Amino acid sequence: MPEGIFLVGWDDTMGSQIEAKFPQDCQIQYKNITQYLVTLQSVGKSSNVQIKDDNKIVLIYNHLEKEGVPNYEFIIVILDNSEESEVPKIQSQLNLEGGKILKISKFKRSKVFLDFAKNLTKSTKKKQKKIVFIGYPNSGKTTTKSFFFEQIQSEKLLETTFTPTKGIESTPYNLIDSKIVLFDTSGQEIERWFTIDETPLIGSDLSFFFITAMDWKQNSERVKSDLNRIIQFSETHDEITHDLVLFCHKFDEITEDQEGFKKNLLDFIQPLGIPVFFTSIKNSGNFDIHIGYQLMLRKLSPFFVFINNFLNPLMRKYTQSGHLLFMLDSDFAPISDFTHINEYFNVVDVNQFKKTIIKLVKMINLEVNNFGDFVSFSDKLSEKIVVCLRMSSFNPDFSYVIMQAESYQFVDELYKEYTKVKQSFSWITKKIE
């Protein structure tokens, strides 16, 4: 655990000033702060420095707005030498969160910094998140769980009959850099979940309310009433602080005037500020399921937020010219597989495709130079360009992100952006006597 974390600002009259620190009783000498500032200014392009100082490890994060423009505001993390194994993970968290903190105005950023510092000092184990699936009988809760978390293909799900859930079934899953527990509830017992003694909503980070398209079409007043009950139930109980999402499942059953159906539901739901997705395990709803899954990742996975923010501007620029396929952890095991929800990915033997890619990146990763950081090639199985991005520089828990690209113009722009981001995430090690 870090001995001290400091947010250092700049005053044109007073010079470097400690704006916030955690824990509150930690101390640092101002002469050391000045020395760290001088060191930062001397390293040139790299904004991040690791220093060996008096048997301590000092990590200094300084977000450079523009190359050549000095920035005198930075974050200091002090660790004991015995915690050297934790340095890569802490560097990764500084890389992912530090820039956002330093960009906030100094009158508002202390609270954000302290939240970050508290999380950083907690156990290095993944923080457990809670997700709740609640809704009507046969509205797709268990099907969506199987599709999202167990990665069962939609074709197989269409052939599968699920036994209705009884009570509450809780299942742990790994979600990129977060651990989650999913609470799948019985639709037949929905009234139980509106009582404070039995509700699973207490402590939930993200709750999905499931209806079918026919539920709305045939009895929209009941849906409206139950959604308002959940909102009021949450507002009157401080223990419930979740984000709420609506899944309108089996949308394929609406065969006429689908746009009119959507407008009718959206006119009610949008003023409530609840995201809604029109889903189906049939082709007509796959895209909304994909977007809903991405929303969940953005809510619960800091590392996915980084990847998303890094890749999305390029994908939008080239009209969705790139698509995530899957990610590999530090042991090269696939996680967060997007191949089953990517409508642009078409491979007969998906498992063979993944095995081939993993074997390739394992061989590439043996290279001691930077050759293996960014690799692209044309793949015969998918008839697409495949791009492999090494992610261990950004987070040591991960090895590669595998993408599909539609054009080499996109690949070229992606390479430029990847190189730029990698350079900004680099750390220089210096020793101060």
For 293-304, the pLDDT digits (tens) are: 778 888 888 788
- Is the predicted pLDDT of residue 121 greater than 50, yes or no? yes
Give pLDDT, residue 284. 47
* The CATH homologous superfamily of the domain defined by 128-300: P-loop containing nucleotide triphosphate hydrolases (3.40.50.300)
pLDDT score at 349: 75
Q: What angle do CA 349, 350, 355 make, to 5 degrees?
A: 105
How much is the pLDDT for 393? 77
Nearest to 258 by CA among 234, 296, 285, 294: 285
pLDDT digits (tens, 9 = 90+) for 141-157: 888 888 777 766 655 65
Q: What is the mean pLDDT of residues 380-404?
A: 84
More confident residue, 361 or 52: 361
The answer to which of 151-165, 203-217, 341-355 has the lowest mean pLDDT is 151-165
pLDDT computed for residue 427 by the predictor? 82
pLDDT value for 237: 81
Sheet holding 178-185, edge to edge: 168-175, 178-185, 128-135, 206-212, 243-249, 276-278
Report percent pLDDT > 90 for the chain: 23
Q: How far apart are the first and last CA of the chain?
A: 24
pLDDT of residue 4: 92
Domains in the chain: boundaries = 4-124, 128-300, 305-424
Asked whether residue 367 carries a pLDDT value surpassing 70, the answer given is no
Residue 51: the pLDDT is 87
Residue 429: the pLDDT is 80
H/E/C letters for each residue in the chain? Answer: CCCEEEEEEEECCCEEEEEEEECCCCCCCHHHHHHHHHHHHHCCCCCEEEEEECCEEEEEECCCCCCCCCCCCEEEEEEEHHHHHHHHHHHHHHHHHHHHHHHCCCCCHHHHHHHHHHHHHCCCCCCEEEEEEEECCCCCHHHHHHHHCCCCCHHHHHCCCCCCCCCEEEEEEEECCEEEEEEEECCCCHHHHHCCCCCCCCCCCEEEEEEEHHHHHHHHHHHHHHHHHHHHHHHCCCCCCCEEEEEEECHHHCCCCHHHHHHHHHHHHHHHCCCEEECCCCHHHHHHHHHHHHHHHHHHCHHHHHHHHHHHHHHHHCCCCEEEEEEEECCCCEECCCHHHCCCCCCCCHHHHHHHHHHHHHHHHCCCCHHHHEEEEEECCCCEEEEEEECCCCCCCEEEEEEEECCHHHHHHHHHHHHHHHHHCCEEEEECC
Looking at residue 427, its amino acid is W
pLDDT at 29 over 80: yes
Instruction: Check if CATH label 1.10.760 holds for domain 4-124.
Output: no
Question: Is 140's pLDDT higher than 70?
Answer: yes
pTM: 0.69
The 10s digit of each residue's pLDDT in 61-74 is 987 655 554 578 89
Per-residue pLDDT averaged across 167-194, rounded? 88
Query: What is the rounded average pLDDT of the residues 253-281?
Result: 89
**Per-residue pLDDT tens over the stretch 73-98:** 899 999 988 888 888 888 888 888 88
Is pLDDT of 291 > 60? yes
pLDDT tens sequence across 224-237: 999 998 888 888 88
For 32-64, what is each residue's pLDDT tens digit? 898 888 888 777 555 688 887 668 899 999 876
Which among 229, 175, 240 has a CA at the least distance from the CA of 205?
240
Asked if the peptide bond before residue 23 counts as cis, ω within 30 degrees of 0, the response is yes
Q: Does the pLDDT value for residue 285 go beyond 70?
A: no
For 305-424, CATH number? 3.30.450
Segment 386-397 shows an average pLDDT of 85
> Given this model, what pLDDT does residue 182 score?
92
- How high does pLDDT run on average in the chain? 82
- In this model, does residue 128 exceed pLDDT 60? yes
